[in-house]
Structure 1
Amino acid sequence: MRPPSCTTDRSTTAERWVAGGGEVARYLSRHGSSHVAKAVLLGAVPPVMVKSDTNPEGTPIEVFDAIRSSVDKDRSQLYWDLSETFYGFNRPDATTSEGARRAFWRLSMQAGIRAAYECISQFSETDFTEDLKRIDVPVLVAHGDDDQIVPLHDSAVKSAELIKKFDPSRLPRRTARAVRQVPHRIRSRPARIPEALSSPVTQSIPIPPHDTLQGALP
């Protein structure tokens, strides 16, 4: 993530999706928030995806090994298959868009194979726990509760709690929302996110088990 060096005040909102959410957390941890007023983590991977002794609820390493093997053997088929769960098109009541799946496949195939292979360990095994604890600006954590790529309760729920526990007296400004029946590709009312950021967040709010982005945000 490139530092927002073009501004001298805290006027920038750092917003990233999936692995980019880790970039936001790492940037704020390393460089501080002198140029950042707020942050948004959308369907993001932090704190850490892979299962371990310290993260027993995580995704087993074998899952990521299988992805690496598929990238090596037939990444074209992997990306086509992945597009279905990425958009939630495998759900019984889903309206499938072959155009969206083809666009996903086309963009995925443009990535270099080495980058595609090596990024798997980066987004699955990098631990952002300590980075999240150091964040000292208001953060909106939004995540689909039907996310089949980055499970909600092993990512957004934990991230929100880690941010809150950093220092409740200094940081009473964390809000988190589970977006009901939304897959990994959050497409539901994206315009509501900037609207929410324009309003001050003055208290910590727990993630409800089911909520809608429309109903949760001001």
Structure 2
Amino acid sequence: MPFITTADGTEIFYKDWGPKTAQPIVFHHGWPLSSDDWDAQLMFFLGEGYRVIAHDRRGHGRSTQTDTGNEMDTYAADVIELAAALDLKDAVHIGHSTGGGEVAHYVARAEAGRVAKAVLIGAVPPIMVKSEANPGGLPLEVFDSFRSQTATNRAQFFLDVASGPFYGFNREGAEVKQGVIDNWWRQGMAGGVKAHYDCVKAFSETDFTEDLKQIDVPVLLLHGEDDQIVPIADSALLGIKLLKHGTIKTYPGFPHGMATTHADVINADLLAFIKS
């Protein structure tokens, strides 16, 4: 399987499909998943003639189950090494949830010419946790509960998240898809519990405000208005105000995992943005 080995010896698994001369699209997954979460997008954009790349973040999926480096600075450094190893130029970076934070942190630090555009889908920036500076955020106790449940019984916790708020399957009238739930659980359990535990702090407490201000390429924000994991009011609706070249599109009734539940809609909007 294809891996790069980072400066600290971590092996990062990646997929790199399609013509190497085509424009690259790089996908960054959410917590606690893997690059497999982008199946619908990888197949769609491969069919459109793009080069598609997706990696398993350190500690997740098939990458090394690291007990250190599970924070945004190292995540972004890993992407810098991946982009250099694959010689990615004028790439479009698309991140979901935690992956959206990784995209913001990376793009703000990327070498000139590496990045053409970025997309944040249901993404965590600017910052999730509640504070005096961010009164609309979620209380720290919410993330303490995430950590506790991950550390003590993540198998059940992951099942509860996937079968409930992540895809909106807890909403009245929702079309519950057991295969989607099982696939979320499968991806989560493939990663390392220590990395998943640490990543809760990374996605909830990292302040991406300065990253968003520094980004100088077009950025598209896509967010479901019924996102129960990353509430829209304290994420995309604030983030759009910080971007130099930002565009936002929201979706009434769409859940956090809308790239899976509504892949046809999301893929079409991504394609339109990439081609624009």
TM-score range, shorter chain: 0.7 to 0.9
Name the counterpart of 1:74: 153
Closer/same/farther in 2, CA of residues 99 and 141 from structure 1, 3 Å limit: same
Residue 230 of structure 2 is aligned to residue 150 of structure 1? yes
Give how far 1:185 is off.
Answer: 0.4
Q: Is the 8 A contact 1:33 1:136 kept in 2?
A: no
Name the counterpart of 1:196: 273
Task: State which of 123, 127, 135 in structure 1 corresponds to 2:215.
Answer: 135
Question: Which runs of 5 or more residues in structure 2 are unaligned?
Answer: 1-75
Number of residue equivalences:
189
Name the counterpart of 1:23: 102
Give how far 1:81 is off.
Answer: 0.7
1:23-172 aligned within 5 A? 23-31=102-110, 33-83=112-162, 84-164=164-244
Residue identity matched to 1:178: T
Secondary structure at the counterpart of residue 249 of structure 2 = strand
Give how far 1:32 is off.
Answer: 5.2
**Could you tell me how far apart the structure 2 residues matched to 1:60 and 1:13 are?**
33
**Could you tell me how far apart the structure 2 residues matched to 1:112 and 1:90 are?**
27
In terms of fraction of residues, the more strand-rich structure is 2
Q: Is the 8 A contact 1:33 1:137 kept in 2?
A: no
Give how far 1:191 is off.
Answer: 2.1
Give how far 1:36 is off.
Answer: 1.1
**Could you tell me how far apart the structure 2 residues matched to 1:35 and 1:104 are?**
31
TM-score, normalization by structure 2: 0.65
Closer/same/farther in 2, CA of residues 18 and 33 from structure 1, 3 Å limit: farther
**Could you tell me how far apart the structure 2 residues matched to 1:38 and 1:31 are?**
12
Q: Deviations over 1:99-157 (max 9, x none)?
A: 21111111111111101111110100000001100011111000111110011111111
Identical positions, percent: 45
**Could you tell me how far apart the structure 2 residues matched to 1:139 and 1:13 are?**
10
Considering only aligned residues, what root-mean-square deviation do their CA atoms show, in Å? Answer: 1.4
**Could you tell me how far apart the structure 2 residues matched to 1:163 and 1:32 are?**
19
Residue identity matched to 2:120: L
Give how far 1:7 is off.
Answer: 4.5
Name the counterpart of 1:214: none
**Could you tell me how far apart the structure 2 residues matched to 1:24 and 1:64 are?**
21
**Could you tell me how far apart the structure 2 residues matched to 1:136 and 1:75 are?**
39
**Could you tell me how far apart the structure 2 residues matched to 1:136 and 1:15 are?**
16
